[in-house]
Structure 1
Amino acid sequence: MLGDSLSGIRVIDFTQVAAGPVCTQTLADLGADVIKVEAHKGELCRALAPFVEGQSLGFLALNGNKRSVALDLKDPGENAAALELAAGADVVVESFRPGVMQRLGLGYEDIRQRHPGVIYCSVSAYGQDGAWRHKPGVDGVLQAVAGLMSVTGLPDAPPCKVQVPVVDMVTGYFAAIGVLGALARRARTGEGQWIDTSMFASAVSLQQMSFASYFADGMPPARIGSAAPYAAPNEALRCADGWIMIAAYHPSRWEALCSVLECRELVSDARFRELSGRITHRRELVQLLEERMTRRPRREWLERFEAVDIICAPINDYSEVIASQAFAGANLSETISHPIAGELTFPRTPLRAVGEVPRARRPAPLVGEHTGEVLRAAGITCDNEGKEPWQ
């Protein structure tokens, strides 16, 4: 199973909130033993809404398959225990501002001295080098500064962020990819390394095609709503009872769309004959197409479009997504039993081999739930009696 790929790999997780936990949960989903080290009051995400029975859903969603050890990194004895755990691990992942782990004596060099083969991954807003390395950052701020908000939303509307924390997510995935690459390299050379994963760099990389276009012509892309700047029609179009996303810019599909909509005259219209013209005259094109599409309901148009191989899909809300055949066919939900929050449903990991259904994740741990178990197994003596908030 793909979920056993990292069996035997130990990861010490000093991350908080989203980007770092996405990385370590990905590694856990691939079979790594991930030990989350957090403060006795819990990491920051545990305080973020929404809550079920006092438990943060955000934390529960991003920390499955992990064990939790509660340690005060500013306490000398507990700091020493954290260092011992990190020195015995294959991978260490942290998401503090650059310099914080070094001041705590838990930086890359501190651990490398004891374990030269360690793979150490730092996740931060702006990276470990450069003038902005000490600046804080969160998903929305990085969407802004990296340009993503400048291309998201409707023309002449205020800047708009992607509602889901897309920068956090892609940064976590890039960090996990970096760790996997470093593990493969270590298998060949025996050498560890320090991986620098920046939210800013990840957000720019997410816009690779758009930045390539800007480098080519020097024109910052404008906000154009659901449309793709490189093709038309390739956008959301209104029908009688909803919206459909249509990608019918290839010549054969463009002609098929005009046939289905009974507006074949648009194929020979000088404005729309070529792709470049359809992009230039997008506003007029959309208006003409929607005049036809608003005459019939969404379901009828979808059937007609699919019959002639036009790439399209309904614009679904979440209730429609989970009721879809695509969602069921991909087996994308799992129910997890949490000791306090009870039975909860989460999206299942998409990491799988053909024909494989990943095992359900273990629930995200309570604060320090595994402190004694982990420290005893590592032969570490640490007196933090009375600090365990889970009891």
Structure 2
Amino acid sequence: MSTQSLNSHPSRPLDGVRVLDFTRVLAGPYCTAMMADLGADVIKVEAAHGEDYRHIGPFKDGESLLFQAINRGKRSIALDLKSPEAIATIKALLAECDVLIENFRPGVMEKLGLGYPALSELFPRLVYVSVSGFGQSGPNAKKPAYDIIVQAMSGLMDATGEPDAAPTMVGEAMGDVAGGLFAAWGTMVALFERSRTDRGRHVDVALFDGLVSMMPILACRTLMGEETPTRTGNRHPLSAPFGTYQASDGHFALAVLNDRLFATFCNVIGQPGLAQDARFASDPLRRENEPALAAYIDQWAGALPVDEVVEQLSAAGIPASTIQTVAEAWASPQAVERGLASTVTHPDLGVLNLPEQPVHFSGVARGGRRPAPALNADERDILNTLKKDQSA
């Protein structure tokens, strides 16, 4: 691994790891942002006009806040990848890097002379990570893919929404996030293997693969149960009562997964006899007869405000919650205590509250990161660092 990390925060798990980052838009940058959070020196390579997310809103004082969020902690250098001089600079940088991450369509890096087969000959310890919509193989490998396309093709969209309504996309770019998470995971596995073998490896990550694999309930029903899952709206497809229900002033979420909890739940709603009702004797039967069960829940909860419903259920040890807005979730005492966001100081935008990776490591403080870089802001610093490392 490289001999130094430019992140000034002491003792982070990825201190000393240097990443050459050719990614843009969301999946790849999400991966490398998490690595930067943990101390990696991430060098973001961009074209002269900057990557796409510099030009996607929301904006503040002309700066993309989305770009700020997922390119935090990185350094930027602008290079023309069609230039022989730029390719020479990249190869010089790679001599000092542990990881290369790219999310071009399959074949693009090979055309530039930067494909894995060529680079692995020059840099056998390099971990080379490719992130794409459908991976490096298969009939869809070279098709373009954005998150909505991956949601549509993965089955997630077909499984989301009300039974008698149109398929619904999830309210976040989960295909991109899945790809970014698995790219980070694959990178760490390859780095761990390298620590034992002293050789790198090509890591092939597909957004489609990642999202399909993140649906284990749908997978088991399809692959082993030979079912064709259908949309169940805000009700769990296999368990009951498990979903959202109506109180007098809004909705609440409820999760009852076993017979013991169900007996307790029946007592809370003033219907202890339901625990002995043959229609509700097991979780599968409760799901089969969910409409009848929901009528009892609606009768009880419909006379109470959401907060009182949740208070009574929680006091009895039954998982329940109000439906928080995104703003309420980020501002919640739990999110604040867990440090899901921390501040950075941007030279033009001032103090920004940015998300950071969610895993806690013992002895590692959160925060202390640099903001997302201006385009090519670190060219001199990166090239000077390269010269120092080569002369060391």
- TM band (smaller chain): over 0.9
With normalisation by structure 2, the TM-score equals 0.93
Shift of 1:50: 1.0
Q: Does 1:59 align with 2:67?
A: yes
Range moving further from structure 2, 274-283 or 145-154: 274-283
Shift of 1:93: 0.2
After superposition, residues 282-361 of structure 1 pair within 5 angstroms as: 282-354=290-362, 356-361=364-369
Task: Please give the per-residue CA displacement for 1:161-197, whole angstroms capped at 9, x wherever unaligned.
Answer: 1111111112111111111111111110111110000
Q: 2:228 corresponds to which letter in structure 1?
A: P
CA–CA distance in 2 between the matches of 1:67 and 1:322? 27
CA contact (8 A) 1:125 1:200 kept: yes
Decide which of 122, 129, 134 is 2:130's aligned counterpart.
122
**Could you say if the C-alpha distance between residues 213 and 90 of structure 1 is closer, same or farther in structure 2, counting changes exceeding 3 Å?**
same
Instruction: Work out whether residues 88 and 115 of structure 1, in 8 Å CA contact, stay in contact via their aligned partners in 2.
Output: no
The one-character-per-residue Cα deviations of 1:44-81 (angstroms, maximum 9, x if unpaired) are 11111111111111111111111001111112212321
- The equivalent of 1:251 in structure 2 is 259
Pairing 1:1-80 to 2, within 5 Å after superposition: 4-80=12-88
Query: Which structure 1 segments of 5+ residues have no match?
Result: 381-391
Q: C-alpha distance in 2, partners of 1:301/1:259? A: 13
2:197 aligns with one of 174, 189, 198: 189
Which deviates more, 326-335 or 213-222?
A: 326-335
Please state whether the residue corresponding to 1:271 is helix, strand or coil: helix
CA distance in 2, matches of 1:2, 1:183: 21
Give the match's secondary structure for 2:279: coil
User: Which residue of structure 1 aligns with residue 106 of structure 2?
Assistant: 98
Choose 137-146 or 340-349, whichever is displaced more. 340-349
What is the alpha-carbon distance in structure 1 between the residues aligned to residue 123 and residue 96 of structure 2? Answer: 7
User: Which deviates more from structure 2 when the two are superposed, residues 316-325 or residues 70-79?
Assistant: 316-325
Residue 195 of structure 2 aligns to a residue whose secondary structure is: helix
Quick one: which of 125, 137, 149 aligns to 1:141? 149
Comparing 149-158 and 371-380, the one that deviates more: 371-380
Residues 270-313 of structure 1 show CA distances to partners (whole Å, capped at 9, x for unaligned) of 22222111111222322331121010111111221111110111
Q: Which has the higher contact order (CA 8 A, sep 6+)?
A: 1
Range moving further from structure 2, 236-245 or 192-201: 236-245
Contact kept, 8 Å, 1:3 with 1:30, in 2: the verdict is no
1:386 corresponding residue in structure 2 = none
Q: What are the residue-to-residue correspondences of 1:222-241 with 2, within 5 Å?
A: 222-241=230-249
Residue 4 (structure 2) aligns with? none
Quote the residue 1:389 is aligned against: none
| CA deviation map 1:63-103 (0-9, x unaligned) | 11110011111122123212322343110000000000110
Unaligned runs of 5+ in 2: 1-8
SS state of the match for residue 235, structure 1? Answer: strand
Partner Cα separation in structure 2 for residue 264 and residue 321 of structure 1 = 34
Tell me the amino acid that sits aligned with residue 158 of structure 1: A
Q: Deviation of residue 125 (structure 1)?
A: 0.5
- Number of residue equivalences: 380
- Residue of structure 1 in register with 2:187 after alignment: 179
Q: Could you say what the CA RMSD is over the residues aligned between the two structures, in angstroms?
A: 1.7
Letter in 1 for 2:166: P
Contact 1:3 1:358 in 2 (8 A): no
Structure 1 residues 187 and 233, CA gap change in structure 2 (3 angstroms)? same
* In structure 2, C-alpha distance between the alignment counterparts of 1:99 and 1:307, rounded to whole Å: 58
* CA-to-aligned-CA distance 1:302-343 (integer Å, 9 cap, x gap): 221111110111110123223423223212221222122222
In the superposition, the TM-score normalised over structure 1's length comes to 0.93
Contact 2:234 2:243 in 1 (8 A): yes
**Cα shift at 1:3:** 6.1
CA distance, structure 2, for counterparts of residue 264 and residue 85 of structure 1: 69
Q: Which residue of 1 aligns with 2:212?
A: 204
The answer (yes or no) to whether the contact 2:37–2:356 under 8 Å persists in 1 is no
Cα distance, 1:175–1:224 mapped onto 2, change above 3 Å: same
Counterparts in 2 of 1:172 and 1:227: CA distance versus 1, 3 Å? same
Q: Once superposed, which parts of structure 1, at least 4 consecutive aligned residues long, lie more than 4 Å away?
A: none
